[in-house]
C-alpha cells in the first residue's frame, strides 16, 4: 500500500462517518458550520461575538479543535454555551470520527447551530468533511490579500469567506478589492463578508447569513 492509497482509504472512511453525521444533523434540524483559518485569524473571537448576539434566541454549541490547550472551549463556555474541546495531539485538522466522539462524550441537547472550529491551518482541514452544511474560511486583514491564490483549495471550497479584523485596515497594507477578486475568481458562488469583532462591522450580515441558512435547512427538513 502506498501513501496515496492509505490517504484515499482514510478520506473514504472519513466521508462515510461524515455522511452519517450529516443525516443525524438533518434529523435534528441542526445547522453545522465548519470554521477554518490560519492560527490567530479570529475564529474564536468571531464565535464569541456570534454567541453574544444569537444565544438569547438560539440554542448554540461548539466543538473546538486544537493541537493543545482547552483555552478556546473555555472561552465559549464562559459565555454559557456547551463547548467540547478536541485535542488532536499532533494532527493538523479535525476528522469526522472526532466530531462523532465529541457528540457522544458531551450532551449538547438539541441545537439550532453547531459551530465546529477546526485546528488553525489553511491546508489540512480542507479535505476532511465533518458533516457540516458549509465551510467558512476566515482571513484577517493583517495576513495579506494574496492568501486566496496561495491557498486556493480552501477558498474554492468554502461557501463563505469572512474577512476579519477590518478595524485594523487603516494600519495595514491590505488591498480588500484584490482579496475580493481572488476569492471571486476561485469561487464565484461564495459570499464574502467584511467584519470586525472589535467595531461590530459586518456582524449583522454574518448573523443574518446564519439565520437564513438555518431557516433554509429547517424548511428542507420539514418538506
- List of residues contacting a second copy (CB under 8 A): 1, 3, 6, 10, 38-41, 66-69, 71, 90, 92, 119-124, 140, 142-144, 146-147, 149-153, 165, 167-168, 171-172
The minimum distance between CB 197 and a second copy, in angstroms, equals 11
The minimum distance between CB 193 and a second copy, in angstroms, equals 18
Round to whole Å and give the CA distance between 105 and 108.
Answer: 9
- Cell numbers at 220, concatenated: 428542507
The minimum distance between CB 120 and a second copy, in angstroms, equals 7
Instruction: State which residue, 2 or 222, has the beta carbon closest to a second copy.
Output: 2
Nearest Cα neighbor of 155 from 194, 131, 123, 129 is 123
Round to whole Å and give the CA distance between 145 and 23.
Answer: 37
- Helix ranges (H only) for the chain are 3-28, 43-54, 71-77, 96-105, 147-150, 152-157, 176-186, 203-222
Nearest Cα neighbor of 193 from 170, 163, 168, 165 is 163
CA-CA-CA-CA dihedral for 69, 94, 52, 28, to nearest 10: -130
Instruction: State which residue, 56 or 90, has the beta carbon closest to a second copy.
Output: 90
Instruction: State which residue, 115 or 151, has the beta carbon closest to a second copy.
Output: 151
The minimum distance between CB 22 and a second copy, in angstroms, equals 24
Instruction: State which residue, 52 or 171, has the beta carbon closest to a second copy.
Output: 171
- Cell numbers at 117, concatenated: 472550529
The minimum distance between CB 45 and a second copy, in angstroms, equals 9
Instruction: State which residue, 66 or 133, has the beta carbon closest to a second copy.
Output: 66
Amino acid at each position: 500500500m502506498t501513501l496515496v492509497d492509505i490517504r484515499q482509504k482514510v478520506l473514504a472512511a472519513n466521508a462515510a462517518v461524515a455522511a452519517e453525521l450529516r443525516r443525524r444533523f438533518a434529523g435534528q434540524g441542526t445547522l453545522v458550520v465548519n470554521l477554518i483559518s490560519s492560527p490567530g485569524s479570529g475564529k474564536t473571537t468571531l464565535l464569541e461575538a456570534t454567541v453574544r448576539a444569537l444565544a438569547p434566541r438560539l440554542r448554540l454549541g461548539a466543538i473546538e479543535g486544537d493541537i493543545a490547550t482547552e483555552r478556546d472551549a473555555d472561552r465559549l463556555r464562559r459565555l454559557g454555551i456547551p463547548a467540547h474541546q478536541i485535542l488532536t495531539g499532533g494532527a493538523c485538522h479535525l476528522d469526522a470520527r472526532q466530531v462523532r466522539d465529541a457528540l457522544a462524550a458531551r450532551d449538547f441537547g438539541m441545537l439550532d447551530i453547531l459551530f465546529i472550529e477546526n485546528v488553525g491551518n489553511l491546508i489540512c482541514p480542507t479535505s476532511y468533511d465533518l458533516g457540516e452544511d458549509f465551510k467558512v474560511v476566515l482571513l484577517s486583514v493583517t495576513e495579506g490579500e494574496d492568501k486566496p491564490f496561495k491557498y486556493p483549495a480552501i477558498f474554492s471550497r468554502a461557501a463563505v469567506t469572512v474577512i476579519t479584523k477590518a478595524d485594523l485596515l487603516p494600519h495595514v497594507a491590505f488591498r480588500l478589492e484584490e482579496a475580493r477578486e481572488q476569492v471571486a475568481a476561485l469561487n464565484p458562488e461564495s459570499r464574502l463578508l467584511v467584519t470586525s469583532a472589535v467595531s461590530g462591522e459586518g456582524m449583522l450580515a454574518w448573523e443574518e447569513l446564519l439565520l437564513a441558512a438555518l431557516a433554509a435547512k429547517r424548511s428542507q427538513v420539514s418538506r
